[in-house]
Amino acid sequence: MSATRLAERLRALHTDHTLVLPNAWDAASAALIARAGAPAIATTSGGVAWSAGRPDGHGLTREEMAELVARIVRVVDVPVTADIEGGYGPSEADVAATVRAIVEAGAVGINLEDSTAPGGPLFDVPAQVGRVRAARDAATAAGLPELWINIRTDVYLFGIGEPEGRLDDVLTRAGAYAAAGADSLFVPGLIDLETLRVLVKESPLPVNVMVWPGAPTVAELEAVGVRRISVGTAIAQGAYAVAQRAAVELLEHGTYTALEGGLDFGALNSAVTA
C-alpha cells in the first residue's frame, strides 16, 4: 500500500473512534502488536533506543532511529507513526531533516516533543511553532503532506510552571501548534479525568494521553473525549522485566518458571517471516 493511502488510513483512525496504540520497539514487537489487531503501530523512542543499546533522550542518531523504524515498517501492513523525540536537534532544519528521514523510512505519522531535554525546559511557543511548521513543510516537500503530526507537550510530564497554570499553558500551546499544522495534541503525564474533560472541550486538537498500570481505563478516557491512547515504554519495560526475572531465576535457582507462557516459536518466527 502506498504511503499516501497509509497516511489517509491513519487520519481516518483518528476520526472514527478512539485510537488505541500499544507501542512497539522493534520489528518483532510491531509484528505481534499488529497481529493482535492494532490498526496502526506507534513506536516508543525509549524502547527503540534500548533495543539498540542506547538510552532514551536522543541516544540514537537520526539515521539510526530511521533505520530502526524502517525495519518496523517492513514487517507490518498497517500505518506506522514514529516517535522522533525532539526532532534530533533544536533547529527547524534539524526537525525538517528528521521528517524527511522518517518519511523515507515509510512512517506516515510522527510524535514531536516541545521539551529541549528530558525534564525540560520547553521550547517557547514561537520556537516550537517554527519547528512544527518545518515538520509540515518537510513532509509536503517529501511528497507526504498527509503526514500526521502528533505534537507532544511536556507541561504535565515535567511539571512545568505552577500547577494551577498548567492547563492554560497547554491550551495556549495547543492553539499555536494547531495553527502551525499539528494534527493532535499529546499530553503525557496528565490522566486526571476532569482536567482531561476540560482540555478535550477547549483544545482545537484531538487529545492523546499516555497510560500505565493504575491509570483510567480506555473506556473512562474515551468517555471524556480522549481520541488517542498510547502506553509509551510500558510494554517494552514489561518484556524486559520478564528477561531479567527469568535470568535471575535461572542463575540463582536453576529453575525456569518465569519462562512459562512464552509465545510459541513458530508463531513468533512466522510473524517476521516475509
Enumerate domains of the chain plus CATH numbers: 3-233 (3.20.20.60)
d(CA 14, CA 18): 7
Confidence band, pLDDT 50/70/90 cuts, at residue 274: low
Query: Which among 111, 81, 98, 101 has a CA at the least distance from the CA of 10?
Result: 81
pLDDT tens digits, one per residue of 58-93: 999 999 999 999 999 999 999 999 999 999 999 999
Quote the Cα angle for 89-95-97, to 5°. Answer: 100
pLDDT tens digits, one per residue of 227-240: 999 999 999 999 99
d(CA 208, CA 227): 6
pLDDT, residue 27, reads 97
Query: Which among 95, 172, 178, 199 has a CA at the least distance from the CA of 138?
Result: 95
Confidence band, pLDDT 50/70/90 cuts, at residue 273: confident
Segment 102-113 mean pLDDT: 98
pLDDT, residue 212, reads 96
d(CA 33, CA 123): 33
Roughly what angle, to the nearest 10 degrees, separates helices 62-75 and 27-35? Answer: 40
Segment 30-38 mean pLDDT: 97
* Residues in a beta bridge with 111: 83, 150
pLDDT, residue 1, reads 85
